[in-house]
Amino acid sequence: MDSNQSSMAGTRGRLASLIVLCCLLACKMPDDKVLPRNQSLPLFNPHVSDFICEIESNKVPPIDAQAEDWFLEARALEDPEIFVEDRDYRKIIDLTRQAAERSHWKAMLNLASLYVEGRDPLYGEEEAVQLVEKAMRLGVPAAYDRMGTYYANGTGVNGDITRAYAFWQKAAQMGNPQAMDFLSDKLNVGPANEGAGYWANIPVAIKMMECAFSQGYGPVAYNLSYMYASPRMATGRVSGPRTPETKALALKVLHEGVAFGCEKCANKLTIEFGDPFDLANMLVPYIDKARAERYGVLSRALGFNPNRRFPNLDKILPLPPADLPPWDGQRKSLLDAAMGVRPPPATPQPSAASLLQKPYFLAAD
């Protein structure tokens, strides 16, 4: 072998060694180099035997006080009662971005939504996905739920419903109530439903619903009330007739759901108290038009603004057998009382005696 051949052989040897080394390094690449959107997750399994309730608020990072002020100011500017055409989206985006830059996880997800909606022409779906990934790195359960939605809709990623369910499952296991509500609805199927033999898992569905409801997530109360009113077997088949106890529990869940902002709960109780579809199976103890009217006001208010919450609901609309407190019939007074809004103090008027007193100072003229 001449010197040229020897040199070429040595070069090939060094190149082969370099390739092997690169392959070994690639095989040992740590998981933090994989984009969160591409991480490997277990496939969704509807047949799990149990569900452990985790609370989302225990998983999220602390929120900076200044970032929270910016976030709340932005939310106020985007209030549903302000017409979309009248909202200052430039200011909303700036405030939300300032909060997001200080790792305010809710602001990150809101800013991602603003990007997807096209509110900022300089940013789009890819930047939205990156924001959600940033929140995922912080361990935010809601970010995993959002990534599942992005895969389901093909938003910034290639649509993949299998991966979507994997992300939703991960979010639910981490404590996200929205993911629990969604997945529990998929497991809550009766024997007559298509695919019931594969999907039905009533015990786990109920545990997911109860976990979400315990976190103050109102929408899940509607389905949970049905589970309580008519107990079901694991296969989805009703295990027995409604009883006074099961109906009372279902009624309580619906009522608390209204306090948590569940429009469907308020609408159902409007019908139950006012004009039930089935008198034999009604959840309420008796027809009560006055209660129905108040639930109707709350239902319409939530339909217009789903962000409303009614922490003082029991003070203006307690469940039977408690008597209804007085109400002047005005929508605003009922909503303010239910939300705990205090009216501004009245300006004191001068008394007749004070008007007779001489002023301390003479008028300028």
Percent of the chain exceeding pLDDT 90 equals 75
pLDDT band at 353 (very low <50, low <70, confident <90, very high): low
pLDDT tens-digit series, residues 212-263? 999 999 999 999 999 999 887 776 777 778 899 999 999 999 999 999 999 9
Name which residue leads in pLDDT, 171 or 199: 171
The confidence score (pLDDT) of residue 18 equals 42
The confidence score (pLDDT) of residue 124 equals 96
End-to-end CA distance of the chain: 120
pLDDT tens-digit series, residues 3-26? 444 444 454 444 444 443 444 344
Lowest mean pLDDT among 65-79, 107-121, 165-179, 277-291: 277-291
Percent of the chain exceeding pLDDT 70 equals 82
pLDDT exceeds 70 at position 196: no
Q: Give the span between the Cα atoms of 18 and 107, in whole angstroms.
A: 45
**Domain extents in the chain:** 241-341
Q: Give the span between the Cα atoms of 299 and 321, in whole angstroms.
A: 22
The confidence score (pLDDT) of residue 355 equals 61
Of the candidates 232, 218, 248, 219, the residue with the CA atom closest to the CA atom of residue 188:
232
The confidence score (pLDDT) of residue 75 equals 96
Kindly report whether the global pTM for this prediction surpasses the value 0.75: yes
- If you average pLDDT over residues 153-162, what whole number do you get? 97
The confidence score (pLDDT) of residue 195 equals 53
Q: Give the span between the Cα atoms of 306 and 219, in whole angstroms.
A: 10
Average model confidence (pLDDT) across the chain:
87
pLDDT tens-digit series, residues 316-326? 999 999 999 99
pLDDT tens-digit series, residues 99-153? 999 999 999 999 999 999 999 999 999 999 999 999 999 999 999 999 999 999 9
The confidence score (pLDDT) of residue 348 equals 60
C-alpha torsion sign, points 81, 84, 89, 91: negative
Cβ neighbours for 312, distance < 8 A, ≥ 6 positions apart:
337, 338, 339, 340
Find the largest Cα–Cα distance for the chain.
Answer: 125
